């Protein structure tokens, strides 16, 4: 009798489980190292879907459409990703259980440029005081980046923060006197001191500070793993905690920090991985 009751409950529960295959992910045909890419998730319930890929993850909010629920995500691969394919897994935990689906996509590999420079030692070697300051700033940035905002404030159409052309592209590996440095984590855009800088998307200012390397810097969290970074500003026009709208002027181009001339170093991170911002300015979804 008890067994039959249990069976009956099971049958009732099963009938409430969304049909197999209700969880879907739409991936691009190919993805590239150092680039971001859009993914759309489809499900039968209003629960967020967790996307996992390359040891990264992001929870995706879904909203109701004509045919169930849909959510938009921006994922990315690091510059040095070398595998031939990428697996993306979607996990949806609803009231009755867990739905999981994995899809793979081929990876195209881009080779990033190397740049060898001879520089005077005094510009490369830092004092202990400067290094300590840098490490403290880095630790603070890490703390903020480890607690990203969950709700998506971006809409998939991103603004180029200044119109100036590129003076140094993303991903360039610089060698100073033969020693490798960290690859360029963003793009340098030309601009005269005082040129207004626009927010790449709507979001919340998480860091507005003056850092040793970056000078006057702002980190804007756009939610669901997307963060934009603006460095070397002459003027910072926002404060930590401020909500900003896409296109809002957040600062002015300058030459603060460790730079030789005015420009905007602009970076984008997706789930804490730096990507080339340039393809995103014209990205459509
Ligand atoms: Zn730069």
pLDDT of residue 113: 95
73 and 38 in contact (C-beta within 8 Å)? yes
Compute the distance from residue 280 Cα to the ligand 1 centre, in Å. Answer: 17
CA of 198 to the centre of ligand 1 (A): 17
Percent of the chain that is helix, strand, coil (3-state, to 5): 15, 45, 40
For the domain spanning 114-281, the CATH number is 2.70.70.10
- The proportion of the chain whose per-residue pLDDT surpasses 70, expressed as a percent, equals 91
Ligand 1 centre from 12 Cα, in Å? 59
| CATH topology assigned to domain 2-108 | Immunoglobulin-like (2.60.40)
Can you give the pLDDT at residue 18?
Answer: 43
Return the C-alpha torsion angle 274, 277, 278, 281, nearest 10: 150
Average of per-residue pLDDT across 18-36: 86
For the chain, the domains span 2-108, 114-281
CB 49 within 8 A of CB 91: yes
Give 269 Cα–ligand 1 centroid separation in angstroms.
14
Residue 79 CA, ligand 1 centroid: distance in Å: 15
CA 44 / ligand 1 centre spacing (Å): 43
Cα–Cα distance, 100 to 150 (Å, whole number): 21
H or E stretch at 267: strand 263-270
> pLDDT digits over 124-169, tens only?
788 899 999 999 999 999 998 899 998 999 999 999 999 999 999 9
**φ, ψ for residue 254, nearest 5 deg:** -155, -160
Report residue 145 as tokens: 């980046």
* Residues surrounding ion ligand 1 at CB below 5 Å: 188, 265
Q: How far is the C-alpha of 23 from the C-alpha of 225, rounded, in Å?
A: 21
pLDDT of 69-125, one tens digit each?
999 999 999 999 999 999 999 999 888 889 999 999 999 999 999 999 888 777 678
Specify the pLDDT at position 232. 97
* Distance separating alpha carbons of residues 61 and 63, to the nearest angstrom: 7
Residue 209 Cα to ligand 1 middle (Å):
17
Q: What mean pLDDT do residues 33-46 have?
A: 95
Which structure tokens are listed for 119? Answer: 């520089």
- How many A from CA of 168 to the centre of ligand 1? 7
């Amino acid at each position: 009798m008890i067994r039959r009751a249990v069976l009956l409950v099971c049958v009732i529960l099963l009938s409430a489980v969304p049909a197999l295959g209700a969880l879907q992910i739409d991936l691009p045909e190919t993805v590239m190292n150092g680039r971001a890419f859009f993914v759309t998730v489809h499900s039968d319930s209003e629960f967020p879907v967790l996307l996992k890929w390359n040891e990264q993850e992001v929870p995706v909010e879904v909203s109701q459409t004509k045919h169930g629920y849909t959510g938009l995500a921006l994922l990315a691969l690091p510059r040095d990703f070398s595998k031939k394919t990428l697996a993306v897994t979607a996990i949806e935990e609803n009231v009755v259980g867990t739905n999981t689906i994995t899809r793979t996509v081929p990876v195209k590999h881009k080779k990033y440029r190397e740049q060898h420079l001879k520089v005077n030692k005094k510009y490369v070697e830092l004092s202990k005081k400067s290094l300590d300051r840098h490490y403290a700033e880095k630790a603070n940035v890490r703390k903020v980046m480890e607690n990203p905002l969950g709700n998506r404030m971006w809409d998939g159409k991103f603004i180029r923060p200044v119109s100036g052309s590129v003076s140094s592209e993303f991903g360039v590996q610089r060698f100073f006197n033969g020693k490798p440095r960290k690859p360029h984590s963003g793009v340098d855009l030309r601009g005269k001191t005082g040129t207004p800088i626009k927010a790449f998307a709507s979001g919340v200012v998480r860091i507005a500070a003056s850092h040793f390397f970056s000078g006057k810097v702002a980190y804007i969290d756009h939610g669901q793993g997307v963060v934009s970074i603006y460095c070397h500003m002459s003027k910072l026009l926002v404060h930590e905690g401020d909500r900003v709208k896409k296109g809002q002027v957040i600062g002015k181009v300058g030459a603060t920090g460790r730079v030789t001339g005015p420009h905007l170093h602009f970076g984008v991170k997706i789930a804490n991985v730096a990507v080339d911002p340039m393809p995103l300015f014209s990205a459509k979804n």
